[in-house]
Amino acid sequence: MRGADPPTGDSVDDRRRLIVDALGVGAATGAYGVSFGAIAVASGLSVAQACVLSLLVFTGASQFALVGVVASGGAPLSGAATALLLGSRNTLYGLKLAGLLRLSGARRLVAAHLVIDESTAMALKPKDPRNAALGFFATGLAVFVLWNLATFAGALAGNAFGDPRAYGLDAAVPAAFLALLWPRLTTPLTRLTALAAAGLALGLVPLLQPGLPIIAAAGVAVLAGMRPATPEDGRAAESSAADDEGDR
């Protein structure tokens, strides 16, 4: 049986660029851990609790949601439900990655913990599917290490920061989410869905416990996703794919 083809010069360059990109993504994303560590301590968590949360949960949106709900007086169960809802998208990522990475044993367990937005995107980025695992693990491990180190640093400095809002740290992650979301609002449906979800969440803030407005707003996206696909949706998807390919 013929072995695998040896890597060509172009393949080596592609892998090198993939690793550089993964480290860049890891550095940029991991830096948010400083914000989380500071906000977690300011919300009443200890340094150890903040670090354990980053080690075991390791999904920034869920972590911020949990401490945000608790800090604003919400019930822990409400915070946990909000965090679980935001983290549920990783399950869909896992279904996509399972067929692409084809891992087993210990590597599969490690990979399950590293399934986040960034590692999934970098796994799907390479044109050669054989480089998917490299993109996934390089990005996932880079983000994991830097996120946890930054969480520790931010938690230690939490008392010195005082109120994180005075430094704009509480706005860092929402701003990043908006930056990721905005380019995807390319159709009337996506724009309407985003506006309806935001309006519903804002309207429910005075009426419900912290965390519940986010859960309710997510239902708007679920309902929009249940709508039957139309030819316009297909053309929008093709246009988005073409834009992503151009970015590469």
Does the pTM exceed 0.95?
no
Cβ-contact 140, 114 below 8 angstroms:
yes
Indicate the number of domains in the chain: 2
> What pLDDT does residue 226 have?
66
> What pLDDT does residue 32 have?
81
> What pLDDT does residue 180 have?
54
Whole-number Å distance between alpha carbons of 119 and 138: 8
* CA 158 distance to own-chain centroid: 23
Statement to judge: residues 133 and 243 lie in one domain:
no
Instruction: Name the amino acid, one letter, at 71.
Output: A
Statement to judge: residues 141 and 225 lie in one domain:
no
Statement to judge: residues 52 and 149 lie in one domain:
yes
Instruction: Name the amino acid, one letter, at 141.
Output: L
Statement to judge: residues 209 and 118 lie in one domain:
no
Asked if the structure places residue 162 within a domain, the reply is yes
Query: If you search the block for the tokens 């309207």, which residue do you land on?
Result: 203
Statement to judge: residues 124 and 214 lie in one domain:
no
CA count, 13 A, side-chain hemisphere, 49: 12
Compute mean pLDDT per 10 residues along the chain, 248 residues long, and list them: 50 85 88 84 87 92 81 74 79 89 90 92 87 93 95 85 61 58 75 85 78 72 65 48 42
Statement to judge: residues 47 and 71 lie in one domain:
yes
Statement to judge: residues 112 and 90 lie in one domain:
yes
Whole-number Å distance between alpha carbons of 241 and 232: 14
The alpha carbon torsion through 81, 141, 178, 161 (nearest 10 deg) reads 80
Asked if the structure places residue 41 within a domain, the reply is yes
Rounded to 5 degrees, what angle do the CA atoms 6, 140, 65 make?
160
Residues 6+ apart with CB under 8 A from 146: 26, 27, 29, 30, 31, 33
Three-state SS across 139-191?
HHHHHHHHHHHHHHHHHHCHHHHCCHHHHCHHHHHHHHHHHHHHHHCCCHHHH
Three-state SS across 98-126?
HHHHCCCHHHHHHHHHCCCHHHHHHHHCC
> What pLDDT does residue 152 have?
95
Token pair in block for residue 112: 């399950």
Statement to judge: residues 190 and 157 lie in one domain:
no
Q: Which structural domain, as residue segments, surrounds residue 141? A: 12-178
Rounded to 5 degrees, what angle do the CA atoms 99, 181, 208 make?
105
Distance set, CA 200 to CA 28, 144, 196, 219 (Å): 31, 34, 6, 10
Asked if the structure places residue 2 within a domain, the reply is no
- CA proximity to 86, closest of 217, 238, 239: 217
Cα Rg for the chain, rounded, in angstroms? 20
Output DSSP code: residue 128.
S
